Structure 1
Amino acid sequence: MAATAEPGTHPARPLTRAQRRVRDIRRLHVGRALTQLAFAALILSAAVRHQFAERGTAASVDALCPFGAVETLLTWITAGHFVPKIHQSNMVLGLSVLVATVLVGNAFCGWVCPFGALQDGLSWVRRRLRLPVVRVPQAWDRGLRWGRFVVLAVIIWMSATTARLWFSDYDPYLTVFSLRWLFEFNARTMALQLGILLVVVAGSLLVDRFWCRYLCPLGAVFAVVGHLSILRIRRSPAACTDCARCDTPCPMGIEPSKAKPFVSTDCVGCMECVVACPVPGSLRVDGPVLLGMPLRPDTLGPSRPHRTPAGTGPRP
């Protein structure tokens, strides 16, 4: 027999599509925030252990950063050894992150990176304080995104020529998460580091993920490797109604509504656009890219702006 509702009660009504979307957005926000906080706590705990443990018995934050593999790459190839403070753990982490990016896309920036989490937190503060958000003109935005590649090239070259972790003197990630400002504070030597950090914080209060968009050298690596990702977010032109609701929550300012068909490799895998889309099947994580269709990246750098052909426009 079919189940019946008890007297005096009403059967639960199924959620509407809009209600399901709100539920999914909340679940995504909570899940991603918890994941980011967990990795940030892991790095901070490692920094504390390194400060109090006997010298050489606890890994530093430097040894737990996948970017260390990139910093020492040229030195390893040309001289056969690592830059000081770089360990095999950096190479293992760097290779693991790159392999994961090829297999499942760039989830590291959106779900793991503690500095990305910090910038998401600054965006949350801006919304709470109702501060204005700066909309960078498209031409400026596209040019500024190449800054990541300039920073990456300078870091690799300087690390090789100086035979040390040259970028550690300026890296805002290390400034925050190494906890040197707490345990080894020196106003004279840390003035430049704190100045750079303040600039990044100010920028992140005005532009979502300011550092990730325009300056992060590891993000530059992911922007290139992302073209090889098997899983990427794909837009279906047949299903898309051009409502552009997916563009608003994107922290990287990518505009998924204009993807042709895959979103830019600047995507950090946060999935905000997918859960915000009101049309089922319009945006979805799709693949394989390499095995099921030809790989045709428009560029190894930031994606070109979408141009709507003459005589076309949003569907009614």
Structure 2
Amino acid sequence: MIIRRIMQLYFLLLYLWAGYQFFSLVESTLAGDIADFSLRFPVIETFLPLSALVGLKQLISTGVFDQIHPAGLSILLIAFFSALVFRRGICSHICPIGTLSEILNYGRNQLLRFKIPFPRIVHYLLMLPKYILLLFFIQVILMQMSGADAASFIYSSYNIISDAKMLAFFLNPSPLMIKVIGSLVVMTILIPFFWCRYLCPYGALLNIAAIFSPLQIRRQPNLCDSCGICDKQCPTNIQISKSTGIISPECTCCQRCISACPTKAITFHNRLTAKALKPVHYSIALLLLFVIGIISAQVSGHWNSLVLPLFWAKYLPQISVIPHP
């Protein structure tokens, strides 16, 4: 667990620092200074998932990699591949939203001891929105949009400054947005990991990939004393104590059940080699996959955009009047 905590803290601080640096870039550029793109960390493109999906459509249709936000597409591909191998470990180790949700849940547990129980059928129904959102985006972007339309969007003024648009969206939220965010915070306090479990379409996409992962959480019945502690620890409400192998794609491999089990009956299990995997080795392997993926993207020219600086400063002063295409 300690490696997972370190990873969570590192990536949370990385995203906060990247956000601050990008804010400085936007402010100085709008003030008339020359845009210093060394302040723009490509990891901020993590928050442009729709742009990355359009970039994927262009790549599939034309074979051309996104030249405007290449890091966004690279991160999408790395995340999807990581889910094929390591299930949804990205959610419990790297995603800043997952980390913030976990911090919020920890504070909630210190102040409130009650939990809101609801039938499992309700739980399954609540999961539908994220899959509906994912299917909508797949239908509109990957299926209906042509390669030419995808390229047109990628080079549009809106997409070029979509990172700045996203920053403005959070820095100057509308009254409706404040209500939505406030409602999500309240729901996360009442129902742990509400966004991650029921609304995140990115998580839904990773769920599909996780189905094919050779890794799973496995309970050894001969060691289990049926105390039910693992069920209480699971943030996604999986009934671990009633299963031998956890095949649910909702499992984020957070290792809570493994650490909490008093009889050590729960382990990571590799179905291909039929061997157990230590949690620390899992976390390190997941980290290495992301490091290798990012380095590969940098070396291959699919991380920093050579084109974006030519247009970004030009369109940024028009940010308030550039509409969504």
TM-score between both structures, scaled by the size of structure 2: 0.66
| Equivalent residue for 2:56, pick from 55, 67, 73 | 73
Q: Which is bigger in relative contact order (C-alpha 8 A, separation at least 6)?
A: 2
Indicate yes or no: 2:103 matched with 1:121.
Answer: yes
| Equivalent residue for 1:233, pick from 217, 224, 227 | 217
1:77 and 1:40, CA in 2 relative to 1: closer, same or farther beyond 3 A?
same
Aligned-partner residue type, residue 64 of structure 1: T
Q: CA deviation at 1:195?
A: 2.7
Q: CA deviation at 1:61?
A: 5.7
- Count how many residue pairs are aligned between Structure 1 and Structure 2: 249
| Mapped contact 1:237–1:261 kept (Cα < 8 A) | no
Indicate yes or no: 2:192 matched with 1:208.
Answer: yes
Task: Tell me the distance in 2 between the aligned counterparts of 1:104 and 1:39.
Answer: 18
Indicate yes or no: 2:78 matched with 1:106.
Answer: no
Indicate yes or no: 2:19 matched with 1:37.
Answer: no
Q: Which residue of 2 aligns with 1:47?
A: 19
1:114 and 1:127, CA in 2 relative to 1: closer, same or farther beyond 3 A?
same
Q: Which residue of 1 aligns with 2:204?
A: 220
Aligned-partner residue type, residue 52 of structure 1: S
| Mapped contact 1:66–1:97 kept (Cα < 8 A) | no
Structure with greater helix percent: 2
Q: Which residue of 2 aligns with 1:93?
A: 75
Q: Which residue of 1 aligns with 2:31?
A: none
Q: CA deviation at 1:238?
A: 3.3
Q: CA deviation at 1:117?
A: 0.9
Q: CA deviation at 1:204?
A: 0.5
Q: Which residue of 2 aligns with 1:261?
A: 245
Instruction: Provide Cα deviations, 1:6-35, integer angstroms capped at 9, x if missing partner.
Output: xxxxxxxxxxxxxxxxxxxxxx3x553432
Aligned-partner residue type, residue 153 of structure 1: L
Q: Which residue of 2 aligns with 1:284?
A: 267
Task: Tell me the distance in 1 between the aligned counterparts of 2:103 and 2:272.
Answer: 35
| Mapped contact 1:47–1:60 kept (Cα < 8 A) | no
Task: Tell me the distance in 2 between the aligned counterparts of 1:84 and 1:204.
Answer: 37
| Mapped contact 2:207–2:249 kept (Cα < 8 A) | yes
1:48 and 1:202, CA in 2 relative to 1: closer, same or farther beyond 3 A?
same
| Mapped contact 2:184–2:194 kept (Cα < 8 A) | yes
Task: Tell me the distance in 2 between the aligned counterparts of 1:81 and 1:199.
Answer: 40
Partner of 2:230, secondary structure, is: coil
Task: Tell me the distance in 1 between the aligned counterparts of 2:109 and 2:76.
Answer: 34
Q: Structure 2: any 5+ residue segments left out of the alignment?
A: 26-33, 155-162, 276-325
Q: Structure 1: any 5+ residue segments left out of the alignment?
A: 1-27, 166-173, 294-316
Task: Tell me the distance in 2 between the aligned counterparts of 1:136 and 1:217.
Answer: 23
Q: CA deviation at 1:209?
A: 0.5
Task: Tell me the distance in 2 between the aligned counterparts of 1:117 and 1:111.
Answer: 8
Partner of 2:267, secondary structure, is: strand
Q: CA deviation at 1:92?
A: 1.8
Task: Tell me the distance in 1 between the aligned counterparts of 2:251 and 2:182.
Answer: 25
Task: Tell me the distance in 1 between the aligned counterparts of 2:237 and 2:228.
Answer: 12
Larger gyration radius, structure 1 or structure 2: 1
Aligned-partner residue type, residue 117 of structure 1: T
CA RMSD of superposed structures (Å): 3.2
Instruction: Provide Cα deviations, 1:87-136, integer angstroms capped at 9, x if missing partner.
Output: 22122222222222233332110011000111111112212222632223
Task: Tell me the distance in 1 between the aligned counterparts of 2:139 and 2:35.
Answer: 30
Partner of 2:229, secondary structure, is: coil
Partner of 2:252, secondary structure, is: coil
Q: CA deviation at 1:273?
A: 0.3
Q: CA deviation at 1:65?
A: 4.5
Q: Which residue of 2 aligns with 1:197?
A: 181
